[in-house]
Structure 1
């Protein structure tokens, strides 16, 4: 150096730039005709349904396909134990003002084009006609002059009834949904928690061959919205599920009201509800006794002294 001082020059090795992570998945932008093969998962998680002996099992040991198969197996057995239960008669309510009906018919379409993509090219699989008519309620009314809450729950639960059982099994139906719209294991386990709450704990909706298809579709859809950031487009889910967009929305709203919007689930709740679901399916017993004896979905008698 010019001033006679010696300096040590640090040699810095330039490492190769780290590869950037792939972008997060966006189901709305996926190819509409793409399907997920139902082969073994590339992880150590099992794709086979697990027969549980306690409620403290490790939910991370099962794959999405395994969790779905556990849901299918338990719900089909529960439906066999319940038998056929007819829906309650429809409950009349004051008609919706014409102005409100017109506003509903002219709601704006989503501003994002992504929300409407994803249904073209998918095979159609109609699930059949619902028992409830379009004018029947899907929400619970509150207030001094509101009808009995039990009566309201029985009325909106009609949304899950089909006029006749679909011509395919629940297994065929849900594996088709997983084929075209796969979800995470947590979504399927959360759906089990919702279904157990309605069908076993509170006995609001009977698990029968006429209800389990619509009920499981709504539970999976609501669980996906509650737990996941990226969700399949509404139009795609509706077409794969064999219902219209409006019917799917009604099923979601109905499920939320029957659950009193208590949608939070954690790993402990998922594990416990799945175990309890399997036990109910195994023994045909709900929280209040045998399902066939307890499921008397008759409308409660209205108090004539209350107007």
Structure 2
């Protein structure tokens, strides 16, 4: 005895109608040309990095790998141009030692993932501040910005370059093109526009890791866990958190980006790497950290 569905199929066949084909999951990834005849499918985006000659370019034309390679190339060129900029002395206060602390094992590395590339010990001590006080009794602003900028310095340059480092991060924690372009925008503001953190072989690893992490949190809904990102990046969870907080403070928590600003910042970052910071090529010892003063605004209830 036929059920209702079989009876309906027989009726459709008799009437000359055929049921629609079964859905194909792979077909969802195939996009059709738009009204302008442009195919914006992710599979059509180029993996080749662009060498920009204008701040007006199509950010939708590149794949995440291409965006990452553009970030890597710009940072490496900028680090080669700047040379080495030593950090200033630490801004810290003596801490009260804990009883028995000398007998406790010291943790020297973060959790690893398939042989993580450790980027070494930070120049800043764990007890150095990562925040800015906002009252009238705050210390000199130079000391405040020094405490924050030192977070991005490694004691020694890692044995691998930023290219190998970020390609590994992308292998285990891939991100979208927008995240890498936003990270480039953050790096341009800190290293070039505002001269807050110099891009050197001792800073670009921590700086790029923090920029990618903050960009992912600002732009994407789904993010890699803190444990995984820290393990792949070769830092501890606490170090990664301190880097994120430091970067957000130096950016004044202004993390918003749009397509036009992403295209412009990437172009300017490439330009800075190619030609140096104007007359400050090799810096000539002229890199001076600066941080805009922020004061608490007292409100009347």
Q: TM-score range by the shorter chain?
A: 0.7 to 0.9
Distance 1:277 1:193 in 2: 8
Q: Normalised by the size of structure 2, how large is the TM-score?
A: 0.76
Residues 56, 271 of structure 1: 8 Å contact kept:
yes
2:117–2:165 CA contact under 8 A, matched in 1: no
Following the alignment from structure 1 to structure 2, what is the Cα–Cα distance between the partners of residues 222 and 125? 20
Q: Which runs of 5+ in 1 are unaligned?
A: 1-10, 23-40, 99-118, 300-307
Offset at residue 20 of structure 1 (A): 9.5
After superposition, the CA RMSD in angstroms is 2.8
Q: Does 1:144 align with 2:136?
A: yes
Deviation at 1:149, TM superposition (A): 2.9
Equivalent residue for 2:60? 60
Structure 2 unmatched ranges of 5 or more: 1-14, 27-40, 99-110, 292-301
Match of 2:201 in 1: 209
Residue 283 of structure 2 is aligned to residue 292 of structure 1: yes
* Matched-pair contact (CA < 8 Å) for 1:154–1:204: no
* Aligned residue runs from structure 1 range 1-307, under 5 A: 16=20, 19=23, 43-92=43-92, 122-285=114-277, 289-290=280-281, 292-293=283-284, 294-297=286-289
C-alpha separation in 2, matches of 1:154 and 1:255: 13
The CA distance in 1 between the partners of 2:246 and 2:273, in whole Å, is 24
Distance verdict in 2 for CA 1:120–1:77, change over 3 Å? closer
Question: For the residues of structure 2 that align with 1:120 and 1:211, how far apart are their CA atoms?
Answer: 21
Change (3 A) 1:95 1:20: farther
Report how many aligned residue pairs link the two structures.
Answer: 250
Runs of 4+ that moved beyond 6 A? none
Whole-Å Cα distance in 2 between the matches of residues 272 and 298 of structure 1? 23
